[in-house]
Chain A
Amino acid sequence: MKKKFLALSMATVMCFSLAGCGSSNEKAGGASSSDKASSASSASSSSSSAASTEEEEITCKMLVWSPSEDQSKDYDEWLQTQCEAFNAEHPNWNITFEYGVCAEGDAAKLITQDPDAAADVFMMSNDQLTNLLPINAVARIGGDTEKEVKENNSETMVSSLTVDGALYGIPFTSNTWFMYYDKSVFSEDDIKNLDTMLEKGVVSFPLTNSWYLASFYAGNGCTFFGDGYDASKGIDFSGQKASDVTEYLIDLKDNKNFKIDVDGSGIAGIRDGSIKAMFSGSWDYAEVKKALGDNMGVAQLPKYTLNGEEKQMYSFAGSKAMAVSSKTEYPQVAVALARYLASESAQKSHYDIRNIIPCNTKLLENEVFQSDELVQAQNNTVANTSIIQPFITEMGNYWTPTDNFGKSLRNNEITHDNAADMTEKWNKDMNTSAVN
C-alpha cells in the first residue's frame, strides 16, 4: 500500500511539474512576443520611410529563411547573391547574413515552435498568416514600403496579405493551380468546357484533395465567409446549390474518361500518355513540359456544365511573400531587405533562375512575360478564375472534412440517393471547430 501510494504521488508530482513547465514557457513567450511585436511594427512603419533619406551606421546579423533551392548552387545561389547586392547598396550598413532552410508552407510550423528564434526575414505563403497572426510573429509593413507594394501589385495580391487593413508581407509570386493539357487532343475551343474535354480525351483531377475540390462548388455560388474575411458568415455550402454540384461530381467520377489524380497518378499518366489533361501548379511545369514537349498547353480553368448551364470553376489563389519577424532587432534593416528581395529586379532574377512567376505588375508588362505561356496561364487564372484562399482562423476547419468528403466520393459512399444529406452534413462539419 505504502509503495503504491509513493508511486502514485511521484507520478502526480511529475505530471504537475511538467505541466507547470509547459504553461509557464508559453505564457512567457506569448507575453514578450506581443510586446515586441507592437514595438517592432511601429518602428518598421516609421523607419522604412527614414531609410531612404539618411541611414545610420548599423552592424548587425540578419537571419534569412528560404526554401533550399534559393540557396543552392544549382540555382546560382539566388538568395546569397541578392543579399550581398543589398549589402552593397547600403554602404552604412554592415550586415552579416545567415541562412536557414524553411519552405514557404512551413513558416508557421517553425515559427510557432519558438517565435524568438525566428528568422528576421522569411518567406511564407499567405495562408501561414492564419497561425502567425494570433501569436504576433509577423511585423506589419507600413510607410513607403506599403505604398510601393500597393502600387506594384494587383488588388488580389495585396488583399491576400492584408488583415483588418494592415499589410503583413511583400508579395513576390502568386500561388494557384490551373490546367495542363495536350494540344494535340484538345483545341482552343475544347478547353473552355470540362465536359467537352471529357468527350475528347482523358482528364484527371485531384478530387480527393480539398485544395482543388472547392473549385466546383465555388462556381455554383457557394461562398467562404462572405467575401473571404467575415468569420460570422461561415462557409456556405448548404442547400440546392451545393447538392447539385455533388450530383454532378458523382457523374463526373463515373465518367470513363475521368480519372482521379491521387499520389502523383496524374503526372505519371501524362508521362505514359494515358492522361491528356491534368490540374496542377507551376511546380509541375518542368515535368509536364518534358513529357508533352511542344504539345503542352497551359490554360486557366475551364467551365463545367451543370444542369444545362455553364459554370466557371474557381481555384484558390494565394501569394507567397517576404515577411519580417516581429522579433527582429533591426526592423528598418529587415524591412528594407524584405523589400529588396521582393523588388522588381529580384523577381526578375528569381524568374530567370527558378521559374518563379513574378507578380510585380510593372515587370509583367515586359515582353518576356507577355509571351510566356506559363506566366500567362497563372496570371489569367489569378485574374479570371480564382477566389482568394481565405486565411482567417476558421478556415482551418475546412480542410479535413473536405478531404474526407472527396474520399467518400471516390469510394462510392456518396450516391445520388444520399447526395443532399451528405453535402449538408459536410457543410455542418466545415462550420464546426474540431477543437472546441
Chain B
Amino acid sequence: MNEKKALRSMKRKKFVTNSIVHVLLSILAVIWVFPIFWVVLTSFRAEKGSYVSSFFPKSYTLDNYKSLFTNTSVLNFPKMFTNTLIIAIFSCLISTFFVLSVSYCMSRLRFKMRKKYMNMAMILGLFPSFMSMVAVYYILKSIGLSEGAMIRVALVLVYSGAAGLQFYIAKGFFDTIPKALDEAAYIDGCTKWQVFSKVTIPLSKPIIVYTVLTSFMGPWVDFIFAKVICRANADYYTVAIGLWRMLEREYIDKWYTCFAAGAVCISIPIAILFIFMQRFYTDGLSGAVKG
C-alpha cells in the first residue's frame, strides 16, 4: 500500500517536473523561432508598407518574390545575389583550403616559430576585424582593386584573407586524430601531402563541413567591408548592402515586404549547402583505429 503510494507520488513528481521543463522549452522555442517566422510571414504579406497593425497578414501573395526578382531597375537584387554567390563560392574554396592546411601544419609539423605564430594569431584574433577596414580599403586601392570588376576580387581577398589565423578549431580537431595513423602512412611511403590529403582529410569531415559553412556564410552576412569597398559602385553590391538599402527612407515603404522576401531567399543557398554537408557530420572518426 505504502509502496504504491510512494510510486504514485514519484510518478506525479516526474510528471510535474517534465511538464515544467517542456513548458519552459516550448516558451524558449517560440521566442527563438518567432522572428524568423515573422520574416517568412512578412515576405508573403500582401499589404504594403512597413507598418502593420496585426501579426498575421490580412492576405497573402507571391508578388513580393516576383517583384524582388523582376523589378530590377532601381535595386537589382538578382545581380546582388549573383555577386554574393560568386564571392561566397570563391572565398569558401580559398579559405577552406587555407584553414585546413594551416591547421595541419600547426597540428603535425614542428618548426621554430610554431608556438610564437600561434600566440600571434590568438592575439590578432582578439581584435575586431573591422578595426582595419580603412587600412584595408587604402591597400586595395593602392593595388588597383577598388574600381570596376576588380571589386569582386577585392571582396574575395578580404573574406578569405584572414583564414590563416582561424585555425584554432580545426587544429584542435586534427590533434585528436591519432598520430599512429600518420606514422603508418609514412612507413608505407606516403609524403606529407599524401598523409594530409589521403589520411587526415578523409578523417576530418565534420570539421571540413564546419569550415566550409562558416566561410561560405561570411560574405552573405558581412556588411561593413562590402560597404566600404563597393562605395558607389552599385553593380557590385552584395545582398547585405541591397537589403540595407531597401530599408532606407526613400525605399522602405515600397520595398519592405520585398526585403523580407530577400532575407528568406538568402537563407536558401546556405540551407542547401548545409543539408548537403550535413550527412558528413555523422561520419568522422568511426572505425579509424582498432583496439
A residues touching B (Cβ–Cβ < 8 Å)? 3, 6-7, 10-11, 14, 18, 21-22, 25, 65, 67-69, 72-75, 100-103, 105, 110, 113-114, 117, 119, 263-265, 267-268, 271-272, 283-284, 287
Q: Is the CB of B135 within 8 A of A267?
A: no
B67 at the interface (CB under 8 A from A): no
Q: Is the CB of B135 within 8 A of A68?
A: no
Question: Which chain A residue shows the least CB distance to B232?
Answer: A100
List the A side residues contacting B73 at CB < 8 Å: 72-75
List the A side residues contacting B256 at CB < 8 Å: 264
CB-CB contacts below 8 Å: B112-149 with A: 115-116, 119-120, 123-124, 131-132, 134-135, 137-138, 141, 146
List the B side residues contacting A101 at CB < 8 Å: 232-234
Q: Is the CB of A271 within 8 A of B231?
A: no
Q: Is the CB of B131 within 8 A of A18?
A: yes
B48 at the interface (CB under 8 A from A): yes
How many residues of chain B get a CB closer than 8 Å to chain A's CBs? 36
Question: Which chain A residue shows the least CB distance to B252?
Answer: A264
B261 at the interface (CB under 8 A from A): no
> Measured between C-beta atoms, what is the minimum distance from B1 to chain A in Å?
62
- A57 vs B272: C-alpha distance when bound (angstroms): 57
Cβ contact of A114, chosen from B141, B233, B248, B249, cutoff 8 A: B141
A sample of 29 cross-chain residue pairs with beta-carbon separation below 8 angstroms, ordered by A number, consists of A3-B115, A6-B119, A10-B119, A14-B123, A18-B135, A22-B134, A25-B134, A65-B232, A68-B75, A68-B234, A74-B73, A74-B74, A100-B232, A102-B231, A103-B248, A113-B134, A114-B138, A114-B231, A263-B51, A264-B49, A264-B50, A264-B252, A265-B51, A267-B49, A267-B51, A268-B49, A268-B51, A283-B249, A287-B49
Q: Is the CB of B228 within 8 A of A113?
A: yes
The binding surface of chain B is classed by DSSP as helix
> Measured between C-beta atoms, what is the minimum distance from B4 to chain A in Å?
59
B282 at the interface (CB under 8 A from A): no
Cβ contact of B253, chosen from A18, A73, A74, A264, cutoff 8 A: A264
B residues touching A (Cβ–Cβ < 8 Å)? 47-53, 73-75, 115-116, 119-120, 123-124, 131-132, 134-135, 137-138, 141, 146, 228, 231-234, 248-250, 252-254, 256
Question: Which chain B residue shows the least CB distance to A11?
Answer: B123
- A114 vs B232: C-alpha distance when bound (angstroms): 12
> Measured between C-beta atoms, what is the minimum distance from A7 to chain B in Å?
5
Q: Is the CB of A18 within 8 A of B132?
A: yes
Q: Is the CB of B50 within 8 A of A7?
A: no
> Measured between C-beta atoms, what is the minimum distance from B219 to chain A in Å?
20
List the A side residues contacting B131 at CB < 8 Å: 18
Cβ contact of B135, chosen from A25, A69, A102, cutoff 8 A: A25
| Complex A-B, nearest 6 residue pairs according to Cβ-Cβ distance, in ascending order | A100-B232, A101-B234, A72-B73, A264-B50, A268-B51, A264-B51
List the A side residues contacting B50 at CB < 8 Å: 263-264, 268
Question: Which chain A residue shows the least CB distance to B250?
Answer: A283
Q: Is the CB of B49 within 8 A of A271?
A: yes
List the B side residues contacting A68 at CB < 8 Å: 74-75, 234
- A21 vs B136: C-alpha distance when bound (angstroms): 10
List the B side residues contacting A271 at CB < 8 Å: 47-49
- A102 vs B75: C-alpha distance when bound (angstroms): 13
Query: A114-B141, A117-B141 given as contacts; is B74 within 8 A of A72 (CB)?
Result: yes
Q: Is the CB of A103 within 8 A of B250?
A: yes
- A265 vs B146: C-alpha distance when bound (angstroms): 40
Query: A18-B131, A100-B231, A267-B51 given as contacts; is B74 within 8 A of A69 (CB)?
Result: yes
- A65 vs B248: C-alpha distance when bound (angstroms): 18
Cβ contact of B123, chosen from A10, A102, A117, cutoff 8 A: A10
> Measured between C-beta atoms, what is the minimum distance from B142 to chain A in Å?
11
Additional pairs, 14, CB under 8 Å, beyond known A68-B74, A267-B49: A3-B115, A10-B120, A10-B123, A22-B135, A25-B135, A25-B138, A74-B74, A113-B137, A114-B141, A264-B51, A265-B51, A268-B50, A268-B51, A272-B53
> Measured between C-beta atoms, what is the minimum distance from A272 to chain B in Å?
8
> Measured between C-beta atoms, what is the minimum distance from B125 to chain A in Å?
12
Question: Which chain B residue shows the least CB distance to A272?
Answer: B53
List the B side residues contacting A100 at CB < 8 Å: 231-234
- A6 vs B116: C-alpha distance when bound (angstroms): 8
- A100 vs B135: C-alpha distance when bound (angstroms): 23
